[in-house]
Structure formats: C-alpha cells, structure tokens
Amino acid sequence: MDIYSSKLSPAVDYGVGAFLLLIAILSIVGNLLVLFMAYKRSSQMKPAELLSVNLAITDLGAAVSMYPLAVASLWNHSWLGGDVTCIYYGWMGFFFGVASVATLTVMAVVRFTASMTLHSHTEKISKRTVQVMLVGTWLYALLWAVFPLIGWGAYGPEPFGLSCTLAWAEMKEHSPSFVISMFAMNLAIPAIIIICCYFGIIYRLNFFYKSQENAKIIQNKVKMQRRLMLVAVLISAGFIGCWTPYGIVSLWSIYSTSSITPHVSVLPCLFAKTSTVYNPLIYYAFSKSFQQEVMQLLHACIRSQACRGSQPSNLTENTVYMVCEGTTIKKDLHKEHFKSTETDANTQFIPLDYK
C-alpha cells in the first residue's frame, strides 16, 4: 500500500480538512492582528514584548507553511508531492515547534527575572539581551530540525498517511538516541524550567505582597505581575497541553507492542495543530487595550467599505470630506485618530511587558 495514501474514509478526510482549514484561518488572522498591533506601537514596546511577537511569528509561520498543503492533501485523499513535500512539511513542523518551545522557556525565565527585582524602577532586561535570546531560539530550532536531514533522526508520514512529521517507527530502530534526546531537550526539560520559574514567581510575589515597605507601590506591582504571569502561564500551558497528547501517542507507537489505529492517531495530531490559535485568543481575553485595538480596526474597515460605496463620483482623490451614509465623517475621523493616539500612548496590548 502507498504510504502516502489516506488510511481514513473520504468523509473523515473532508471533515478533518475543513477543521484544519478553520484552524489555519483563525491562526493566520489572529497572529497577523498581533503582529499588526505590535507594528503600530513598535516604538513603545518593552523588550520582553518581543517574546510575544516571536511566538506570533512561529505560529503564523507554521500555519502558512504547513496547513494549506495538509488541507489540499486531505481533500485529495492522498499526500501531494511525495517524499520532497513530506520532508518539507515535517521539517517545518519540527522547526517551528522547537522555536515555540524555546521561546516559551525564555519567556518564563524573563518573567522570573522580572519578579526578582520588583523594587527596581529600571528595565529588568535590555532589548539587546532579548534580541540575542530570540536569535538563540531560532538557531536552536534550526539545529534540531537539521539533525534528521543529516541522519540523526528522520522525517516520514503519519500513520494515517496525510501528514508528515518525525518518522517515529523508523527512529525506533535506527535513531533511538535522537528520540530520547529530543523529548528530553524539547519537552521534558523546557516543561520543568517553565514550571519551576512560574512557581518561583508565585513565591516571590507572595513574599513581596506581604512586605510592609512601600506597601501600596509593591502591591500594585504585584497585581500587575500576577496578571502578566497568568497570561504567560496560560500560553505555556496551552502549548504544552496541545502537544503532550501527541508526544504520548508518539512514544506509545515507538515502545508499545500494540499499534495505534489511523483514526486514533489523527486526533492528537489535530489537537497539536490548534496550538497556533490560542495565543491571540488569550491576548484578546485578558487585554482590554488589545480588544479596543481590534474593534477599532474592525470599525475602521467597515467604515471604509461604507464610505467607498457611497463616495460621490465628482470628489477628487484627496478630498477631505467623505460622505458616509448621508453624513460627513471628517469629525469622526478626527475623533478616531485622537482615540487611537491616546490608546497607543497610554496602554499596551501585549500582556508580557513589565515596568
């Protein structure tokens, strides 16, 4: 049997393809919004906010480079492109996955560092330091993604035939050391570091909260740190929670004598792919300024369409006055610009900065 033919029924293929298409749309739109809002206020960004931007880049990169090919293959009932696209798909998935894990680990360390110096009014970490850390995460991800290409590990199709990843069954025989090292360095150890950092943050925040010196100032900082920590914990827990079932199933397929059916193996794979959607939703749920920015952008798009549809033909291209549903909007545009400027100056939408 062709290793790239679907092991699922056509109805399941169409259903999984539709679900993955929805995930792709939500991920692309959500992460583009995060990057667009970050670009709008790039001059005001704190160094640590670059970490959330990096997460958005990894999620967007995975969605754009992988999901369209997977959807097309699912609806074709056979993997498109053979070995070449399979290696490409597996490489992209592993590369962006490791980059995300590394970024989450750095984020936890940075948050812990910030919690250690609540008394300080200066920046806890410089922009240059964060940039070096981010370059390190990408180089680390690149190194691990290259290993299977040079013989330590391998890429191959999933059991259900319509996705590609690390070839678990093949590595069981030829690269068992890669499997152990990969799970240790890219799942177990990062998870331990993240958990320890956030438990350390909780301990430090409780200690500072009970401090009687500058109690009001300290308590305000503690409240802010708690909010930022909650967002970071949710982001980390979401990613680890999405990928843990897939890791368990992968290890089961390697070390268990009983095989996993294609219909069962597809579920953790799909669950892992939803990890690219959660971060923008978390930002939207916990950041009022991000909500306001998104709603302003949506209203601006709707107003732009309404204005374009009702604009008189005798107006020049540079006309200041535009007619929208029978009313002039010069004043509205002035108010919208003032509100946007005030929001950018006084609020921050990515909840990972610190003061």
* Rounded CA separation 209/218 (Å): 7
pTM of the model: 0.79
Q: Rounded mean pLDDT of 150-158?
A: 90
Distance of CA 239 to the CA centre of its chain: 8
Q: Are 138 and 103 in contact (CB under 8 A)?
A: no
The model's pLDDT over 68-127, given as tens digits with 9 standing for 90+, comes to 999 999 999 999 988 999 999 999 999 999 999 999 999 888 888 877 766 555 556 788
Q: Are 300 and 344 in contact (CB under 8 A)?
A: no
Cβ neighbors of 153 (< 8 A, separation 6 or more) are 147, 166, 167, 171, 175, 178, 179, 182
Strands 164-166 and 323-324, bridge-based pairing: unpaired
Average pLDDT value over all residues in the chain:
78
Q: Are 147 and 98 in contact (CB under 8 A)?
A: no
* Rounded CA separation 292/349 (Å): 9
- What is the band of 222 on the pLDDT scale with cuts at 50, 70, 90? low
Question: Hunting for tokens 């070096």 — which residue is that?
Answer: 132
Q: Rounded mean pLDDT of 342-354?
A: 41
For CA atoms 88, 92, 95, 101, the dihedral sign is: negative
Strands 155-157 and 327-328, bridge-based pairing: unpaired
- Class of the domain covering 10-305: mainly alpha
The model's pLDDT over 230-287, given as tens digits with 9 standing for 90+, comes to 787 888 888 888 888 888 888 887 776 667 777 788 888 888 888 888 888 888 777 7
- What is the band of 14 on the pLDDT scale with cuts at 50, 70, 90? very high
pLDDT at 338 over 70: no
Tell me which of 304 and 345 has the higher pLDDT.
Answer: 304
* Rounded CA separation 229/234 (Å): 8
Residue ranges of domains in the chain: 10-305
CA distances (Å), origin 142, targets 67, 76, 81, 248: 20, 31, 23, 24
pLDDT at 34 over 70: yes
3-class SS at 8?
A: coil
Report the candidate in 235, 246, 313, 314 with the shortest Cα–Cα distance to residue 277.
235
Beta bridge partners of residue 348, listed in sequence order: none
CA distances (Å), origin 271, targets 72, 150, 240: 19, 29, 11
Question: Hunting for tokens 């009702």 — which residue is that?
Answer: 310
* Rounded CA separation 242/274 (Å): 7
What was the pLDDT predicted at 267? 87
Cα dihedral 315→316→318→319 (10° resolution): -20
Tell me which of 69 and 160 has the higher pLDDT.
Answer: 69
